[in-house]
Amino acid sequence: MSRVRLSKLLREGGELLTVEKTAVILGLNKDQAAKSLARWRSQGWLAHIKRGVYVSVPIEAETTNRALEDAWILIPELFEPAYVGGWSAAEHWDFTEQIFRDICVFSARPVTKRHQVLHNVPFVVTHASINTHFGCKAVWKKGMKILVSDPTKTIVDILSNPWAGGGIQHTVDCLKQYFNSSFFQETILLDYATRLGNGAVFKRLGYLSSQLWGDRHPLTVECLSHLTAGKAQLDPSLPGNKLITRWRLFIPDTLQISTQRESALPHVQKRRGPRECCSYRQ
């Protein structure tokens, strides 16, 4: 009877199982469901993620301590309300060729530990109030709905928190890819930056826009009109001592500005002559 119930649970419950889901599928109360899951875990059929949450273990698996084939399915149960963002969203939208092992998650739940390893899967979780959970798209993995920041929200998030973009150099690289993509929409970019409510976003975006396209580009001009009082760091993890007064932004000495002739980026106003581009040296 136990084997029949387990087969039914795995067939209807999918890879990620909870006490509540088990109770509904098997027609048990929560206490009975919890005891059944614990028993199947001790028998090696399930692996424990956290209290009340389990994953199924394939018959061919040599150990229950395996990484999930698609770890994103853990996010709704572990961190909801939450969305995939930062470098993980940048990977999803092809803004980077770098491969990150950690999954970047923004959650409205209280976060006591930013770095968490659950079932051999490393997560980097940061608290983000629910009113900042806009600009997300739903993706479906193994029948589960997971939210991921859309291309423009991804850029705004990493400009707000350069660490979430893998550091300022990688953030700049992702920004360039975004500007070159069909996703780039200046109006939405400015709207998202305003809604997020972090004045540092306009300082960083405006400064980088001025370096890429010049001071007269509409995006640069718009950012300048949205500047807030106070000064910010281009990358808080690398405090700079060079203040760009126009942008109220401190730039680290390691940031190098090189000039080279390139064709104008797609979707932006063309400019003649050389333009400046950012490179970063540590």
Average pLDDT, rounded, for the chain: 83
Instruction: Tell me the C-alpha distance between 42 and 57, whole Å.
Output: 12
In a domain, 256, yes or no: yes
Tokens (6 digits) for 24:
């509904």
In a domain, 172, yes or no: yes
The residue behind tokens 């798209």 is: 137
- Residue 154 within a domain: no
Q: Give the tokens for residue 207.
A: 């400064």
The answer to the question of residue 135 being in a domain is yes
Mean pLDDT computed over 195-207: 96
Same domain? 79 vs 129: yes
Same domain flag for 134 and 76:
yes
Q: What pLDDT does 5 receive?
A: 79
- Give all strands of the β-sheet with 232-233 in edge-to-edge order: 232-233, 249-251, 242-244
Q: What is the mean pLDDT of residues 229-233?
A: 94
Residue 107's DSSP bridge partners are 82, 127
- In angstroms, the CA 243 to CA 232 distance is 9
Range among 49-63, 73-87, 254-268 rated most confident: 73-87
Domain boundary among 105, 122, 149: 149
pLDDT band at 2; cut points 50, 70, 90: confident
Are 281 and 197 within one domain?
A: yes
C-alpha span between 282 and 166 (Å, rounded): 14
Q: Which CATH number does the domain housing residue 37 bear?
A: 1.10.10.10
Number of domain units in the chain: 3
- pLDDT on residue 88: 97
Both 179 and 260 in one domain: the answer is: yes
149, 182, 202: which is the final residue of a domain?
149
pLDDT of residue 261: 29
CB 55 within 8 A of CB 15: yes
Same domain, 126 and 177: no
The reply to whether 219 falls in a domain is yes
Residue 1 is predicted with a pLDDT of 56
The DSSP result for 125-137, as a single string, is EEE--GGG--SEE
Q: Is residue 160 part of a domain?
A: no
Q: 132 with 211, same domain?
A: no
In the prediction, which pLDDT does 68 show? 57
Question: Phi-psi category of 159—alpha, beta or left, where left has phi over 0 and alpha has psi -120 to 50?
Answer: alpha
Please indicate, yes or no, if residue 157 is contained in any of the structural domains: no
Are 222 and 205 within 8 A, CB to CB? no
Extract the tokens encoding 270: 């063309």
Q: Which whole number is the average pLDDT over 28-50? A: 79
Is the per-residue pLDDT at 272 higher than 70? Answer: no
Same domain, yes or no, for 8 and 115?
no
| Integer Cα distance of 3 and 18 in angstroms | 18
Question: Does one domain contain both 175 and 236?
Answer: yes
Position 255 scores a pLDDT of 65
177 and 268, same structural domain? yes
Same domain assignment for residues 172 and 282 = yes
| Residue 63 counted as domain residue | no
- 106-110, 180-184, 261-265: the lowest-pLDDT one: 261-265
User: In terms of residue numbers, what domain contains 170?
Assistant: 166-282
Report the first-to-last Cα separation within the chain, whole angstroms.
62
Does residue 217 sit in the same domain as residue 187?
yes
Claim to verify: residue 245 and residue 266 sit in the same structural domain? yes
Q: Which two tokens stand for residue 195?
A: 């809604």
Indicate the range of 65-74, 143-152, 255-264, 271-280 predicted with least confidence: 271-280
In angstroms, the CA 158 to CA 280 distance is: 16
